[in-house]
């Protein structure tokens, strides 16, 4: 009996201690939950003060707005790309020609004179040269002063240029010889100014204002001339084309009809000379050239000390369908109807209605 009571008592003691432990653990848990809830309430109250919305609702709002902002950014990018495509011109855009990587400055010498077709001729040539980089254009007016309309054309090309007036002096033919001579003198005395800081070499080319030029003439032929470059010219010398005869990469003769025995039977538009050759001589266009039968090209090149062995031919590589990159064209003078055909007096200049025309 005593034993049973002790057992029951012992059991009772054990149950009471376990109950106390359980109550303590439950109390701690309640206290922890209360503390956590209190923290959450404090955080939520703080969020209400700062944002005005509960934390969870705020996060939902932020997610919603974030998706909205992302959608707007994507829509803006699509609209911007579409508008950029619309801004692209539908017409072809011409870029500056870059046919090679040489650092030679091309120096184009153009004699010019007053005539009714001069402005359209200069416009055509200016439009061609404006596509060539590293080019200095020297224009010499056959007159005592320059012409504003021509200067305006030169300004619009954005090319570096020199425009000066030198009226043909007595003894020279009025064919641009004296103007080219003055250009050569200018080149020799202003070399560093023409080349600038970015160029150490140059090539001189005599380009008339009424010829027709392919941009590749400058980028693939002229810029690569190391001494004397020569190529074909169309519609010149009383024939369809004049060209050097090339055998084994060397010029042995010239395929021309007029005076083929010239050492350099070439048209003015058919050659270019490296600047070093020009600077190492004092050769100019004289008042006459008997060796050329009246044509000045061979006299100039011979006076520069050049030989046929110095010629670098261009454009001959194909067996057929070779391309001509320069044409000796000439704008014909328009047939202007005179008002008084039977009058002995000199007819007045035509009415231009306020527009500038070199009549």
pLDDT in tens, 79-109: 767 665 555 544 333 344 444 457 899 999 9
161 vs 151: CA distance, rounded Å: 10
Q: Is 282 annotated as a binding residue?
A: no
Give yes or no: residues 148 and 219 share one domain: yes
Q: Would you say residue 52 lies in a domain?
A: yes
**What is residue 28's predicted lDDT score, i.e. its pLDDT?**
56
Residues 256/265, Cβ–Cβ less than 8 Å: yes
Sign of CA dihedral 175, 231, 301, 251: negative
- Domain span at residue 30 reads 21-87
CATH code at position 161: 3.90.550.10
The secondary structure of residue 45, as a DSSP letter, is: H
Q: Would you say residue 92 lies in a domain?
A: no
C-alpha triplet 114, 120, 126: angle, nearest 5°: 100
Q: Is residue 297 among the annotated active site residues?
A: yes
Give the pairing of strands 271-274 and 201-206. Answer: antiparallel
**Closest by Cα among 116, 171, 183 to 286:** 171
Helix (H, G, I), strand (E, B) or coil at 29: helix
Q: Would you say residue 188 lies in a domain?
A: yes
Catalytic option among 297, 307, 312, 323? 297
Tokens coding 182: 């003055």
**What is residue 14's predicted lDDT score, i.e. its pLDDT?**
43
Q: Would you say residue 342 lies in a domain?
A: no
Give yes or no: residues 152 and 60 share one domain: no
- Torsion region of 142: left, alpha or beta (phi above 0 gives left; psi -120 to 50 gives alpha): beta
278 vs 105: CA distance, rounded Å: 14
Low-confidence residues of the chain: pLDDT under 50: 1-15, 19, 26, 30, 34-35, 47, 53, 89-100
Give yes or no: residues 247 and 306 share one domain: yes
Residues 149/172, Cβ–Cβ less than 8 Å: no
| Residue where one domain finishes, among candidates 58, 87, 116 | 87
Domains held by the chain: number: 2
Phi, psi dihedral angles at 150 (to 5 degrees): -70, -40
For 73, how many CA atoms within 13 A lie in the half-sphere containing its CB?
Answer: 6
Provide the 10 A C-beta neighbour count for residue 222: 28
Give yes or no: residues 271 and 301 share one domain: yes
Give yes or no: residues 189 and 81 share one domain: no
325 vs 212: CA distance, rounded Å: 8
Q: Would you say residue 14 lies in a domain?
A: no
Q: Would you say residue 13 lies in a domain?
A: no
CA distances from 195 to 49, 54, 208, 217, 352 (A): 74, 75, 22, 20, 41
Please list the alpha-helical segments (H only) found in 231-313.
275-279, 297-303
Give yes or no: residues 175 and 267 share one domain: yes
Give yes or no: residues 162 and 257 share one domain: yes
Q: Would you say residue 244 lies in a domain?
A: yes
Give yes or no: residues 69 and 145 share one domain: no
Give yes or no: residues 213 and 67 share one domain: no
Residues 145/170, Cβ–Cβ less than 8 Å: no
Q: Can you list the pairs that 330-336 forms with residues at least 24 positions away whose Cβ atoms lie under 8 Å?
A: 330/210, 331/117, 331/120, 331/121, 331/210, 332/117, 333/115, 333/116, 333/117, 334/116, 334/117, 336/116
Give yes or no: residues 110 and 72 share one domain: no
Give yes or no: residues 43 and 117 share one domain: no
Give yes or no: residues 212 and 63 share one domain: no
Which strands, in side-by-side order, build the sheet including 201-206?
A: 161-165, 135-141, 104-112, 201-206, 271-274, 228-230, 311-313
Contacts of 50 (CB under 8 A, 6+ apart): none
149 vs 316: CA distance, rounded Å: 39
Q: Would you say residue 32 lies in a domain?
A: yes
Tokens coding 128: 């061609």
For 121, how many CA atoms within 13 A lie in the half-sphere containing its CB?
Answer: 21
Bridge partners of 229, per DSSP, are 272, 312
């Amino acid at each position: 009996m005593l034993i049973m009571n002790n057992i029951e008592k012992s059991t009772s003691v054990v149950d009471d201690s376990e109950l106390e432990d359980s109550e303590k653990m439950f109390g701690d848990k309640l206290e922890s939950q209360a503390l956590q809830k209190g923290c959450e309430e404090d955080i939520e109250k703080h969020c209400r003060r700062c944002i005005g919305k509960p934390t969870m609702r705020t996060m939902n709002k932020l997610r919603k707005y974030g998706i909205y902002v992302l959608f707007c950014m994507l829509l803006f990018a699509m609209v911007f790309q579409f508008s950029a495509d619309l801004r692209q011109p539908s017409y072809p855009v011409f870029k500056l020609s870059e046919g090679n990587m040489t650092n030679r400055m091309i120096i184009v010498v153009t004699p010019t004179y007053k005539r009714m077709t001069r402005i359209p001729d200069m416009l055509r040539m200016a439009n061609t040269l404006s596509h060539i980089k590293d080019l200095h254009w020297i224009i010499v007016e056959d007159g005592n002063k320059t012409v504003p309309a021509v200067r305006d054309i030169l300004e619009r090309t954005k090319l570096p240029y020199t425009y000066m007036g030198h009226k043909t002096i007595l003894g020279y033919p009025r064919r641009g010889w004296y103007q080219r001579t003055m250009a050569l003198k200018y080149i020799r005395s202003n070399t560093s100014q023409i080349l600038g800081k970015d160029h150490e070499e140059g090539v001189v080319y005599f380009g008339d204002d009424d010829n027709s030029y392919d941009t590749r003439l400058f980028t693939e032929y002229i810029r690569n001339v190391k001494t004397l470059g020569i190529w074909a010219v169309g519609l010149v010398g009383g024939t369809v084309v004049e060209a050097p005869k090339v055998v084994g990469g060397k010029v042995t003769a010239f395929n021309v009809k007029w005076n083929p025995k010239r050492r350099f039977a070439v048209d003015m538009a058919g050659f270019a000379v490296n600047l070093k050759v020009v600077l190492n001589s004092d050769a100019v266009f004289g008042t006459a050239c008997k060796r050329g039968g009246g044509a000045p090209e061979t006299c100039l090149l011979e006076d520069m000390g050049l030989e046929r062995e110095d010629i670098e031919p261009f454009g001959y590589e194909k067996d057929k369908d070779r391309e001509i990159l320069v044409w000796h064209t000439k704008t014909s003078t328009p047939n202007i109807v005179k008002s008084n055909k039977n009058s002995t007096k000199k007819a007045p200049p035509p009415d231009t209605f306020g527009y500038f025309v070199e009549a």
